[in-house]
Chain A
């Protein structure tokens, strides 16, 4: 069995938890060093992306249900927060609300499709963001296709947004770790590996998949909400667009699907790539993303994490080979 199923000792756990904690401390201290506004913005967007990416991975990685339509939850979260703030709610109250709305919306796709065998879920997710975008583009009270503006009567503080983003990404990772270690996470992995065997051992695949979908949607919805407050202006094409779905799917694939840290690494890589690529090659960045997905699936389905593990094995083998008994 792999290491995850055996609980390592406390000391080892503490050592393993050290690098992420150091990283978190570093990121938390970063605004003290007077970064440029643009760097803070890139980091903030990366945090938001990581939260969505970690969410996608709970469903797509842990449970093995690929969704091509997570923009729906991102967009619904964004609109919920936007309307909430404009109605006078505290922004921090609107994030859980955004998560709740997204979780409820996830049932709309999950209820009819998870009961069936076959690729129905993946197929339905292709259509759902398109359908939602069409509906939102026609909705009067959110401004339709021309978008929706958020007016807050407080000055814009970038640092506050930065910490909100960081907190959201941290919460997402903690939830992902908790799911992974729980009985629920074990059930999801069982469903991923063999749905019949999972059902035989008393796991209800339908309920588990619905729950994973709702949880993933909630994280993505909260990410959309945090983004919306920062952006202060959202439109259906932007938050419900196909590119948004592609991005949310791409990050875990780049970093390593079905791992805790893969989506985080992928979100980080994506945040930087997106900033560089979109600015330089607005025409071909989706082309590069498509090629990247194909290369990853064909040559290293484990993504960046898989590559790192491969490199580590190579180094270890060298060391073993050169070891001489004295």
Chain B
């Protein structure tokens, strides 16, 4: 291994982290506002991948344009799903048994609808970019990775803008902090919850579409990414947006550099290992750690 090899690994880890952040942020908003662990996240990631695939194959649209289209489509889908589940997805203080099982059931349904429609074989989206690289001397950057990273960053920047500059975004942040005070100042909790669910699903769908540009996919596509999303939001402290970025970065770095030490057949177990380590060393995630540090300094 030379220095440039390490640098290449570092770059690919950074590119991956951006995509991971877009993938996990949808889960964070839904958990933050409703305290629902969205197990169906995996199903929507998978649907996003096939959405982009189908739009690309049938309408001949560029996959990136298709991923952009996926956002409003999955937003609408999320709102409809939230409406259809009704009482099953309440805004609550702690995750309920019912909502966990319900989202689990939804995941099973989505995954197996995927098997019915698209079969079990792997598919991939190939564009002229897929195998192209940009070279700077010793350093090579995969073009597709860069483009996917850029799209993820743009979507996250848009989210930050919405969260901080709009009424809807402020109500989301307020809901994450205190549901009761929200009612007092006149936030429509139910409506905000529905739109937030839509937003979370929209991010899941779009991120699934972006990931489909990087990896081949099957109807079981979402499962490994579901676990990764969990690791990220646990590392981040479950409901903190900046935590998601830090969590994505940690996971991407660990996954990328672990190839140097861990045999590839054990790779799927890495995210779980990281989850256990995070739970022991950093309960409450990075956000909790920072909060503790701050309160210690203040006290």
Pairwise interchain contact A287-B113, C-beta atoms closer than 8 A: yes
A127-B271 contact in complex given A286-B108, A294-B102, A297-B105, C-beta closer than 8 Å: yes
Q: Judge if B234 is at the interface, Cβ distance under 8 Å.
A: yes
Closest-by-CB residue of B relative to A108 is: B276
How far apart are the CA atoms of A246 and B108 in the complex, in Å? 9
Closest-by-CB residue of B relative to A145 is: B265
Which residues in A have their C-beta under 8 angstroms from that of B234?
120, 123
Pairwise interchain contact A66-B105, C-beta atoms closer than 8 A: no
Pairwise interchain contact A66-B100, C-beta atoms closer than 8 A: yes
Q: A291-B109, A293-B102, A297-B105 are in contact. List 15 more A-B contacts (CB 8 A).
A: A119-B35, A124-B279, A126-B226, A126-B227, A130-B272, A131-B273, A138-B265, A249-B101, A283-B112, A283-B116, A287-B116, A293-B108, A294-B88, A294-B109, A297-B98
Which residues in A have their C-beta under 8 angstroms from that of B88?
294, 297-298
Pairwise interchain contact A130-B37, C-beta atoms closer than 8 A: no
Residues of B that sit less than 8 Å from A by CB: 31, 35, 37, 39, 85-88, 94-95, 97-98, 100-102, 104-109, 111-113, 115-116, 223-224, 226-227, 230-231, 234, 238, 263, 265-266, 268-269, 271-273, 275-276, 279-280, 283-284
Stretch at the interface among A36-44, A109-117, A168-176, A200-208: A109-117
Least CB distance from A263 to B in Å reads 15
Pairwise interchain contact A294-B265, C-beta atoms closer than 8 A: no
The 8 Å CB contact of A287, one of B37, B109, B263, is B109
Jot down 23 A-B pairs with beta carbons below 8 A, ordered by A.
A68-B104, A113-B279, A116-B283, A119-B35, A120-B283, A122-B100, A124-B275, A124-B276, A127-B227, A127-B230, A130-B223, A130-B224, A131-B273, A134-B266, A135-B266, A249-B101, A284-B115, A287-B115, A289-B105, A290-B107, A293-B104, A298-B86, A298-B87
Pairwise interchain contact B105-A293, C-beta atoms closer than 8 A: yes
Q: Judge if A311 is at the interface, Cβ distance under 8 Å.
A: no
How far apart are the CA atoms of A292 and B109 in the complex, in Å? 10
How far apart are the CA atoms of A119 and B95 in the complex, in Å? 6
Pairwise interchain contact A284-B104, C-beta atoms closer than 8 A: no
**In the complex, which range does the number of interface residues on chain A fall in?**
35 or more
Closest-by-CB residue of B relative to A116 is: B283
Closest-by-CB residue of B relative to A118 is: B238
Pairwise interchain contact B272-A66, C-beta atoms closer than 8 A: no
Least CB distance from A63 to B in Å reads 11
Least CB distance from B165 to A in Å reads 30
The 8 Å CB contact of A134, one of B31, B39, B87, B269, is B269
The 8 Å CB contact of A123, one of B106, B116, B230, is B230
- 1/0 contact string of A83-125 vs chain B (CB within 8 Å): 0000000000000000000000000100011011111101110
How far apart are the CA atoms of A275 and B113 in the complex, in Å? 21
How far apart are the CA atoms of A55 and B224 in the complex, in Å? 27
Least CB distance from A111 to B in Å reads 8
Least CB distance from B228 to A in Å reads 10
Which residues in B have their C-beta under 8 angstroms from that of A127?
227, 230-231, 271-272, 275
Least CB distance from B131 to A in Å reads 29
Pairwise interchain contact A66-B101, C-beta atoms closer than 8 A: yes
Least CB distance from A76 to B in Å reads 15
Pairwise interchain contact A257-B116, C-beta atoms closer than 8 A: no
How far apart are the CA atoms of A292 and B272 in the complex, in Å? 29
How far apart are the CA atoms of A285 and B166 in the complex, in Å? 45
Pairwise interchain contact A284-B271, C-beta atoms closer than 8 A: no
Pairwise interchain contact B108-A290, C-beta atoms closer than 8 A: yes
Which residues in B have their C-beta under 8 angstroms from that of A31?
none
How far apart are the CA atoms of A31 and B184 in the complex, in Å? 67
Which residues in A have their C-beta under 8 angstroms from that of B113?
287
Which 4 A-B pairs rank lowest in CB-CB distance, beginning with the nearest?
A290-B108, A293-B105, A287-B112, A127-B272
Least CB distance from B227 to A in Å reads 5
Least CB distance from B98 to A in Å reads 5
A137-B265 contact in complex given A291-B105, A293-B105, C-beta closer than 8 Å: yes
Which residues in B have their C-beta under 8 angstroms from that of A293?
101-102, 104-105, 108
Least CB distance from A136 to B in Å reads 10
Which residues in B have their C-beta under 8 angstroms from that of A116?
279, 283-284
Closest-by-CB residue of A relative to B85 is: A298
Q: Judge if A147 is at the interface, Cβ distance under 8 Å.
A: no
Pairwise interchain contact B268-A123, C-beta atoms closer than 8 A: no
Which residues in B have their C-beta under 8 angstroms from that of A108?
276
Least CB distance from B204 to A in Å reads 16
Which residues in B have their C-beta under 8 angstroms from that of A294?
88, 102, 105-106, 109
Closest-by-CB residue of A relative to B36 is: A119
Least CB distance from B249 to A in Å reads 20
Which residues in B have their C-beta under 8 angstroms from that of A137?
265
The 8 Å CB contact of B272, one of A120, A131, A297, is A131
A138-B98 contact in complex given A112-B279, A123-B234, A287-B109, C-beta closer than 8 Å: no
Pairwise interchain contact B116-A118, C-beta atoms closer than 8 A: no
Pairwise interchain contact A115-B101, C-beta atoms closer than 8 A: no
Least CB distance from A71 to B in Å reads 14
How far apart are the CA atoms of A298 and B83 in the complex, in Å? 13
How far apart are the CA atoms of A283 and B113 in the complex, in Å? 10
Pairwise interchain contact B269-A131, C-beta atoms closer than 8 A: yes
How far apart are the CA atoms of A123 and B98 in the complex, in Å? 15
Least CB distance from A19 to B in Å reads 28
Which residues in B have their C-beta under 8 angstroms from that of A50?
none
